[in-house]
Amino acid sequence: MSVRDKRLMACALVFALFLGCISGLSGCGENEKKHFVLRSFSTLGAEEDAAAYSAVIAEYSKSHKHVTINDTSTTKAGSYKMELSLASTYRGANTPDVIYYSSIEDMSGLCDFFVTVDEIRRDYPKFAANISEAAINSVAASDGRRYCIPVRGEWRGIVINAAMFRRSSLKIPEKWDDIIRAAHHFENNKKVSLFANSLDESSSLIEYMVRSLGGMKSIQSAINGNPDDNWDTVLDAIEALDNLNAFPKMPKSSFDSLVSPTELSHTAKKAQPSAVELYNSEKAAILLLDNTVCGEIDTDIDSNYIALPEVGTISENEYEYTTSQSNTYPTHALSGPVYPPITANTLPTDPPTTTTVKHSPDPAESTRPADGDADTGQEEHSSDNGLYVNFDEGFYITKKAYYDKVKREDIIEFVEFFLKEENATRLCCHYQAPSLSTLSDKARDKLTGKSNIFNGVINSVEKADKFVVTTQTQENVFFWEHCSLAVACMSKGILTKKEALGMISDTQRTVSDIYSSRR
């Protein structure tokens, strides 16, 4: 090749490199993302929640240098401020782009501010694809549209110490007479109660019992101030169990002074262990459990979830509850006390009476807890494990932000970043159930500590087509506390059953008012 040719090639190469550089600079200019401020609002202001939430935001920011996150977080108690600010600032510069908040059912009048999940999926078909559809459906708004992407759910359930039932030759409760049989049996032992939770902690039990008879209609009847006949039946059943010492004694309260010490019943003379402590020490066989105390359960206990049987009559079968003459039982080195078996011979003296109520819940309103099949026509209490899982909060994207072409892509990525398995599970600080449709073994082990209790919740969420949502929410917390107080006072003899029902009917009535009205 001649010198002239070499020079021509060199010039061509330099020119090509120059054009490439110009082209690259031009491309960089076209693709360079414009800086903007992403305004977010959350109700994750509690200590552990805030730490996890802030850590995820910090990681998102590393890969999105052009986005400045302006976040405002508060606790659930202060969440009303968001509703006020959203309505007042929506057309201004300070309205949030993304919020993490309670389900839209509690946000009447705000639906118009948010874009629906289905509209987002028309533009981004894989948006929130790893989230359980049942979880998304469970937080649909009253207009039937889906605005919220849930990340975690609070849950409640009932667990039994299966080993205690086996050692006692008791059936895992499937019918109400199995509950009565077990209550009789543990009453004979004296040192063990059937339930770990005392009646001043009875709100979950009451809800399970009422819903087993009349479904959500019966619950709502009392919340609306007119409890139906199923409530009367449930208070009869609680009274019968209480007479069998099925519940631990309750602490003293300010209302105990209304009754003379000789008349007062079911009150402890000294401080009692907590429900979890009673369950862990095998001083109680059944525990009403929720995610806040899940981590305190002894993982060595053979704990099984059960669906509380429908309140009903004692079976026609007759029982003999045998006891040792010395009232002490042999102990196995590994399994602990071996309680005497129950044999079907004669009915015990003065058995508690309960009433079977025939009912026909509206199939349209009857759903089943996690792990149940949807649209089977079966009643909600017939679930395999009786878990209530509430996905009552999640992410929303405002229409104003979604329709902003500068922000849209990054805002979608912001929400998707929180939905990644490693980030979504970070927010489950208190054993909340992740809303993911599947969970890897690695994430599951890290999240559960290999606890069979929490694994059962995750399995149920993965399998569920529908969720039964408990009414034990912030919105109804006063009603349920009032309800538990009425039942506790009935147990102690401060109120009659009729007076307790009256107190449940009217949350403005106090124990003192009812008691003093007798005079």
Compute the average pLDDT of residues 344-358: 31
Beta bridge partners of 39: 70
Binned at pLDDT 50, 70 and 90, residue 374 comes out as: very low
Q: Please determine, for residue 22, whether its predicted confidence score (pLDDT) is greater than 50.
A: no
Closest CA to 116 of 83, 151, 140: 140
Compute the average pLDDT of residues 192-196: 96
Residues whose CB falls within 8 Å of the CB of residue 28, separated by 6 or more in sequence, listed in order:
none
Binned at pLDDT 50, 70 and 90, residue 32 comes out as: confident
**Which of 16-25, 169-178, 216-225 shows the lowest mean pLDDT across its residues?**
16-25
pLDDT at 424: 96
The residue extents of the domains of the chain are 34-151+390-463, 159-359+473-516
Distance, in Å, from the CA atom of 175 to the CA atom of 185, rounded to the nearest integer, reads: 16
The CATH architecture to which 34-151+390-463 belongs is: 3-Layer(aba) Sandwich (3.40)
Closest CA to 435 of 129, 44, 121: 129
Q: Please determine, for residue 92, whether its predicted confidence score (pLDDT) is greater than 80.
A: no
Q: Please determine, for residue 368, whether its predicted confidence score (pLDDT) is greater than 60.
A: no
Full DSSP string of 247-309: SPPBPP-GGGGGS-TTT--SB-SSPPPPHHHHHHTTSEEEEEEEGGGGGGS-TTS-EEE-PPP
Q: Which CATH class for the 159-359+473-516 domain?
A: alpha beta
Compute the average pLDDT of residues 498-514: 92
Q: Please determine, for residue 84, whether its predicted confidence score (pLDDT) is greater than 70.
A: no
pLDDT at 352: 33
pTM of the model: 0.79
pLDDT at 318: 44
pLDDT at 316: 46
For the chain, the helix, strand and coil percentages under 3-state DSSP, each to the nearest 5:
45, 15, 40
Closest CA to 36 of 315, 441, 405, 439: 405
pLDDT at 513: 87
Compute the average pLDDT of residues 158-162: 95
Binned at pLDDT 50, 70 and 90, residue 46 comes out as: confident
Closest CA to 395 of 135, 88, 155: 135
Binned at pLDDT 50, 70 and 90, residue 358 comes out as: very low
Map tokens 């506390």 to a residue.
Answer: 481
Compute the average pLDDT of residues 391-415: 94
Mean pLDDT of the chain, nearest integer: 80
